[in-house]
Amino acid sequence: MKSSFILIVVISLFGTFVKAQTPWVVPDDKKGLLAPIKFSDDTRKLGLEIYNKTCVSCHGHPGQPDQAKLVPPPADPASKVYQQNLDGELFYKITEGRGLMPSFKKMLKSEEIWNIISYVRTFNKEYVQKVGASDSSSGVKGKVTAKLNYTVKNNKIEVKVIQQINKMPINGAKLSLYAKRNFGWLPLDEIRSSNSLGIITFNYPNDLPGDKDGNVNVKINMANADGTEQTIIDTIIKTEVKRSQYNLLDNRTMWNVRSMAPIWLVLSYCGAVLAAWGVIFYIIWILLRIRKSGSETSN
């Protein structure tokens, strides 16, 4: 059982490597994608910040040979091979990921990915940006409003998406559900499409702890045409699973402050100190009696 599991893991890893070594082909319809924004010093600056947070650990500092030692090696963004990618290709690769390169579509907004691209392009002197058509990032045209409805009884979250302008329900919008945890956003359920009434029903887990009142911060993301997501709802729902707030410093313990020392310890310490010093003072009292007795005798 165990060995077959290992075998599966080895084979899939091997498969990954083999796959990773083949050229990374970007679908033709994605290649030509252009940034909806004009790259500027601002976008480059923002891009650098994101790069240093999410990319540098593997890709290193562009132009320096400090990329992570992985197989296949992460490309140096300053390299010629890297810069030969079109903007659309870079966007696709960052969004989708492959093998050890993670997909960033759930972690970064499309705008943030474009900022990274604008930053890495500073290492290509010959690069001239072509700006794409104005905001085409959304798969759904126009502004969207959504309404979330959570029912405790059957643990369902129902979302209705409609066009803001004409209040018409949106059919086929791809939505995903997340809950906020300490480490970030946890995906719940799967990506679901809205029906003709613009309604999507997510299954909400019945064991996900909220805070001490059962409150959970959830968000609904809608997929854009370029593969990224935009948040359409970010709200707090009240669930029945409350986190028991147990503070280790509430009781008298060894690791607590002095005023919360265990009673037996306080009594032992004070008892021992009082006993020892009580005897010492008793001895001093005896000495005083010796002195007194001596002065009486000599008188």
Q: Which residues bind another protein (CB under 8 A)?
A: 254-258, 261-262, 265-266, 269, 272-273, 276-277, 279-280, 282-284, 286-287, 289-295, 297-298
Q: How far is the CB of 188 from another protein (least distance, A)?
A: 36
DSSP classification of residue 209: -
Q: In angstroms, rounded to a whole number, what is the distance separating the alpha carbons of residues 169 and 158? A: 14
The residue type at 192: R
Relative to beta strand 144-151, strand 156-163 is antiparallel
Round to whole Å and give the CA distance between 135 and 143: 12
Distance CA 101, CA 84 (A): 18
Instruction: Pull the structure tokens for residue 19.
Output: 């796959």
Nearest approach, Cβ of residue 282 and another protein (Å): 7
Smallest separation, CB 262 to another protein (Å): 8
| Least distance in angstroms from the C-beta of 277 to another protein | 7
| Between 14 and 269, CB nearer to another protein | 269
241 Rama class: left (phi>0) / alpha (psi -120 to 50) / beta = beta
Question: How far is Cα of residue 290 from the mean position of the Cα atoms in its chain?
Answer: 78
Q: Which is nearer to another protein, 154 or 295 (CB)?
A: 295
Instruction: Report the residue number, 167 or 258, with the smaller CB distance to another protein.
Output: 258
Q: How far is the CB of 57 from another protein (least distance, A)?
A: 17
Q: Which two tokens stand for residue 135?
A: 């905001």
Task: Select 128 or 263, whichever has its Cβ closest to another protein.
Answer: 263
Nearer to another protein, 241 or 280 (CB): 280
